[in-house]
């Protein structure tokens, strides 16, 4: 077994242990411990997904998705644990949308986690749709993305995020977006600064 394979199995094992820890924290009402356990488990999930992407094992299970429900659930989950306000803006509305709900949830959760780490007072989450695209936007009122990250936003390699992260969330987002292809259109991720950091995920309808 290679070191990479061993690391992947270890990540899976640690994720299971964190899930047990989160369950205990929830049963005792320890919200801080619960938040930390869930955040750590989310980071390991993203790391494992990146490993699968590197090995060519990451695939998308495209099916009918419900973007408004997905955003509602994510915001509800994060509001329980964060002192930063999370505000929803815009809805996709009625219509058929096709995407891998699990992968898109993972990507958005990573982006929302990053936004909450760097926001000063609030994070805004929006979803919108037109005839061709489904668009998710997560924006904060923090210092914004550093110039070096914006310059390498399309890179295939993980880059440090705000100097204290791994950049795996952005890397994974690009990989997941690229798995969503329809009618000649391909999903994409873009980063920008507008009164804070702005993460945009676009998926073809």
Q: Which parts of the chain are beta strand (E)?
A: 63-65, 85-89, 97-99, 122-129, 133-140, 181-182, 185-186, 188-193, 197-204
Report the C-alpha gap between 134 and 109 in whole angstroms.
Answer: 17
Closest CA to 107 of 166, 193, 151, 49: 49
Q: What is the pLDDT of residue 7?
A: 66
Number of H helices, E strands in the chain: 6, 9
Q: Which of 5-9, 30-34, 108-112, 187-191 has the lowest mean pLDDT?
A: 5-9
What percent of the chain has pLDDT above 90? 44
Q: What is the pLDDT of residue 166?
A: 43
Handedness of CA 41, 60, 92, 90 (dihedral sign): positive
Q: What is the pLDDT of residue 192?
A: 92
- Region 85-90: mean pLDDT is 92
State the angle between helix axes of 31-55 and 168-178 in degrees (0 to 180), rounded to the nearest 10.
50
- Beta-bridge partner residues of 191: 199
Q: What is the pLDDT of residue 153?
A: 63
The yes-or-no verdict on residue 161 having pLDDT over 90 is no
Q: What is the pLDDT of residue 113?
A: 87
**Tens digit of each residue's pLDDT (9 = 90 or more) over 93-118:** 888 899 999 999 999 998 998 898 89
- Region 134-149: mean pLDDT is 91
Report the C-alpha gap between 176 and 59 in whole angstroms.
Answer: 8
Q: Which of 3-7, 21-25, 45-49, 185-189 has the lowest mean pLDDT?
A: 3-7
């Amino acid at each position: 077994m290679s070191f990479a394979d061993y690391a992947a199995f270890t990540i899976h094992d640690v994720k299971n242990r964190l899930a047990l820890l989160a369950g205990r924290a929830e049963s005792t009402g320890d919200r801080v411990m619960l938040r930390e356990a869930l955040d750590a488990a989310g980071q390991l999930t993203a790391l494992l997904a990146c490993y699968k992407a590197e090995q060519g094992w990451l695939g998308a299970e495209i099916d009918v998705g419900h973007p408004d429900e997905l955003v509602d659930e994510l915001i509800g989950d994060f509001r329980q644990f964060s002192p930063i306000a999370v505000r929803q803006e815009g809805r996709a509305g009625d219509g058929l949308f096709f995407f891998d709900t699990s992968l898109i949830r993972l990507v958005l959760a990573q982006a929302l986690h990053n936004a909450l780490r760097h926001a000063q007072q609030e994070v805004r989450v929006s979803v919108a749709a037109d005839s061709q695209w489904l668009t998710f936007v997560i924006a904060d009122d923090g210092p914004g993305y550093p110039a070096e990250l914006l310059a390498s936003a399309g890179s295939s390699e993980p880059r440090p995020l705000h100097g204290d992260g791994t950049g795996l969330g952005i890397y994974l987002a690009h990989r997941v977006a690229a798995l969503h292809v329809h009618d000649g259109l391909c999903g994409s991720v873009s980063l920008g600064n507008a009164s804070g950091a702005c993460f945009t995920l676009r998926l073809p309808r």
